[in-house]
Structure 1
Amino acid sequence: MRWGRTYFAVQAIAGAAWWIAVFTFPFVRDVTLGGLNPIVVAAFDIPLFVGASALAALGVRAAAVVSTCWTVVVTIALAGYATVTGEAGWGVVIMAAATAGSALALCLVVVGRIPTDWMIRGPFAFRPAAVRPAAATHVVATFMQIAVFWGLFLVVIPLIAALLEQRWAIAIPLPAFAGPVGVAVLVAASALGIWSAVVMSTLGNGTPLPSAMPNSLVIAGPYRWVRNPMAVSGIVQGVAVGLILSSWLVIVYAIAGSMLWNYAIRPHEEADLERRFGAEFRRYRDAVRCWLPRVPVAPSSP
């Protein structure tokens, strides 16, 4: 709860500082509010955002709910306004970040923790795959998953983000070499992802999907060097797509996805693996890192 209240305190101070800047510097007003009347907006935002955040910092839970709900409403409304007019794009970015922070802080204030377990329920709950005599069945299912997930997370969402970035006038040009570098990195990361998927589906008798997880612990292929090569591949692919599209927003999207996976999904996945494979998984976890390969230490000279 303490961290949640601390966040709302920082948000109240930042919100007050932003409103002072809006009324002091026309540039700030233009890039964050566009043609909206700042007096009208302030009449609602100062009590419902700044004031409610300050009360939430003092421990008033109802104020935390009000501040968070208002932040969500403002973000959606401002995103619609920016998409129609091409104005206030940086305001959308700021409020989107505030929405994410407020939602997490609200969980800490009201629940006392961030309930990540809701993300692994229903079709996303961890369950072993049905045992099939032919590994090819799992390979086919795995590649179908790859087609869907790569199409959505590496094509559809990045293209929408890049288009909005241009429409909202928040694009930051990347160096000319970013595109070719992105293509090379995307090819390498995709190869790692396919290699990891094939190894998992053939040796693990399952798929990467949580609802059809491998029945055997896989420590071959790229899994000898990192515990989550498919996650590494996906994050690097997202960054590479951002370089190709010259979109900082897509790069941030990929990094945010990596943090979501690492802090919200991975602990549950590894707890499930430990329940199913026990000491075998604990030995593997202790020997192989999650993200970076362990560099062998050269023996010292006598």
Structure 2
Amino acid sequence: MSRGRWWFALQAVAGGAWWVLVATVPTVRTLTLGTLNPVLVAAFDVPLFVVASALAATGLRWAAVLATGWTAVVLAGMVLWATATREAGWGVVAMTAATVGSVLALCLVLLGRIPTELVTSGPLRFRTADPDAGRHRHVLGTALQIVVFWGLFLGVFPLVIVAAETRWRLRPALPGPVVDVLVDTGVVVFVLASLLGLASAVSMSTRGAGTPLPSAMPNRLVVAGPYRVVRNPMALAGITQGAAVGLVTASWMVLVYAVAGSIVWNCVVRPLEEADLEERFGDDFRRYAAAVRCWVPRLRPVARL
């Protein structure tokens, strides 16, 4: 059985178990459905989610499409319901996990793989920067990228997540002293991670004749600054910044967001980026990758190339 079919089998079992708990444990029903009528919801969800997932596990592709489509519809409905009523926040969490898993499993069932290349398509397609552009243009472009990406991924998105977490009543009631420690720790970690990110950006834009953005990648392999001790310092900085924002906002959902971002980067973006670097820089990159680890910094900086 393929991994996609295994997911649908697990989803069918989990969905059936959840409906048993909804019927027998009032707390589960309240946390995941609120005041929604469980009989009415079950009339649609059992055949379209539980049964369809079970059929998808046997290899029926139409059932996989049906189960995935229904899961996405339920997630959208739960988000609207939880936002409007402040009920069933944990139902949103459960359906988010189910939707992500179903979409990935559907790709495996239909395509036999997950089309990770889509992440670097369109405006994020790998392209090298204009080699004739002056250094000041690369520095300016990098600065603009930092403002936009940090503003979105470390500002706007976490604020939306915190607002949803609060609205859906998913924020834990932490003692004041605990919150103070989290905030202080988060600020220190965020400042240190930001310094790492800025130092990496300066090295990339001044020595690589390009920017960190895939659509304007450097023309030269950069082994300078933080790149002498760790292979992905900007990604490391960004992930750490995200976790720091989670501490500052005392939000477990923002921490999950940061962890999810690290998984996507490590499993999807990084292999594509490093394959591109190996194609462009050949043995130079292979020697560099052999000498400098991806996430764990060296104790002694590697020699410049």
TM-score by length of 1: 0.96
* CA offsets 1:241-284 (integer angstroms, 9 cap, x no match): 01101100001001101111111111111110011000000000
Per the alignment, residue 299 of structure 1 pairs with: none
| Cα-to-partner distance string for 1:93-145 (whole Å, 9 max, x where unaligned) | 00001000000000011100000111111211111100135312111110000
Q: TM-score, normalised on structure 2? A: 0.95
The answer to whether the 8 A contact 1:182-1:244 is kept is yes
Q: CA deviation at 1:70?
A: 0.3
Q: Are 1:173 and 1:246, in contact at CA under 8 Å, matched by a contact in 2?
A: no
Greater Cα offset, 133-142 or 104-113? 133-142
2:26 is matched with: 26
Distance 1:109 1:15 in 2: 20
- 2:173 and 2:152 map into 1 onto residues whose CA distance is 25
- Quote the residue 1:243 is aligned against: 247
In the alignment, does 2:258 pair up with 1:275? no
> For the Cα contact (< 8 Å) 2:229–2:299, is it kept in 1?
no
Q: How does 1:282-301 map to 2 (within 5 A)?
A: 282-295=286-299
> Aligned residue for 1:221?
225
| Structure 2 residue runs without a partner (length 5+) | 301-305
1:194 aligns to what? 198
Amino acid at match of 2:259: I
The whole-number CA distance in structure 2 between the counterparts of 1:131 and 1:170 is 50
Which consecutive segments of 4 or more residues in structure 1 shift more than 4 A? Answer: none
Read off the aligned partner of 1:267 and give its amino acid letter.
Answer: P
In structure 2, give the amino acid aligned to 1:233.
A
Rounded Cα–Cα distance in structure 2 between residues aligned with 1:18 and 1:295: 49
Q: What is the aligned length? A: 296
Aligned pair 1:102/2:111, yes or no? no
Within 2, Cα distance between the matches of 1:30 and 1:212?
A: 50
1:161 and 2:165 correspond:
no
Q: C-alpha separation between the residues in 1 aligned to 2:134 and 2:111?
A: 46
In structure 1, distance between residues paired with 2:189 and 2:118: 33
Q: Which amino acid in the other structure matches residue 157 of structure 2?
A: I
Note the C-alpha offset of 1:172.
2.3
